[in-house]
Amino acid sequence: MGKYGGTVIHRCHDEDGPIEVVESHGVRSLHFGSPARQSAMALADPDHIELAYLRAMLAGLVFVPAPARILILGLGGGSLPRFLSHHYPDALIEVIESRSAMVAVAREYFGLPDRPGLNIQIADGGEYLQRQVTAGNCRYDLILVDVFDEQGLAPMVLQHDFFAALVSLINFGGVVCVNLWSGHAESFRAVMRLLKLYFPTGAYSLPVMGRGNVVGLGLESALGSPRLKACNCRAQKLEQQLGIEFTRLVQRLAPPLSR
């Protein structure tokens, strides 16, 4: 069965809509009922991060090169937790996914490993953040937010409580990275305003070349010249280690309201 320029090898449906896995020219992609690819994996090189926006989300590693605790909201095909658990085997990685069907799909079709230190919970991301804030016993070095459905950005990301929780849960020196879609102008601008409000001196945007994705980054402080120089040096080293274009990503960082 042909769809999205390829062959559908798996399709299921839950209360949130369809989940489709499509293969085309050696690449396996995840779709939520639309042509937009939510995740992708090259079958000949499964450890490579195939989608440019996911590589951009990892730009936070330039500021936190050795994260001990990582929180990921939104599993998708599992590209980010698979990559991070491979390269940071000593890190504790928590993944929060609202759709239980996604875990089975990510394991069977996208190689998501089952290993110590990689914990996946089925929960609402916003509610999970609030529980962690209330518990007061857990902070993270890197928080990655990628929560979309067939309608667009999850509504919880547009809430003040969501960003207040992110600020409460990020360690000093840590980074929050949020995947956004600039084509949805109203929600995009709303999240950028929240990013600037809750990270007043360290809010940045990272447009993904050739795509409508923009990654919003929240840092605890601004990137002055000395810090930016250090980040550029670190980006070069990480690029060699991880095979991601970190130097170009750092060069494209800009204050979010300058767009």
| pLDDT values of the chain reduced to their tens digit, one per residue, 259 residues | 578 889 999 999 998 889 999 999 999 999 998 888 889 999 999 989 999 999 999 999 999 989 999 999 999 999 999 999 999 999 999 999 999 999 999 999 999 999 999 999 999 999 999 999 999 878 999 999 999 866 778 889 999 999 999 999 999 999 999 999 888 888 899 999 999 999 999 999 999 988 889 999 999 877 776 677 888 899 999 999 999 999 999 999 988 654 4
Domain boundaries, the chain: 47-254
From the list 27, 29, 61, 180, the residue with the least C-alpha distance to 19 is: 29
Residues 9, 13, 14, 18, CA torsion sign:
positive
The pair of structure tokens assigned to 61 is 């590693």
CATH class in words for 47-254 = alpha beta
Q: Which residues are known to be catalytic? A: 146
The DSSP bridge partners found for residue 27 are: 24, 42
Spatial CB neighbours of 201, under 8 Å, sequence gap ≥ 6: 220, 221, 222
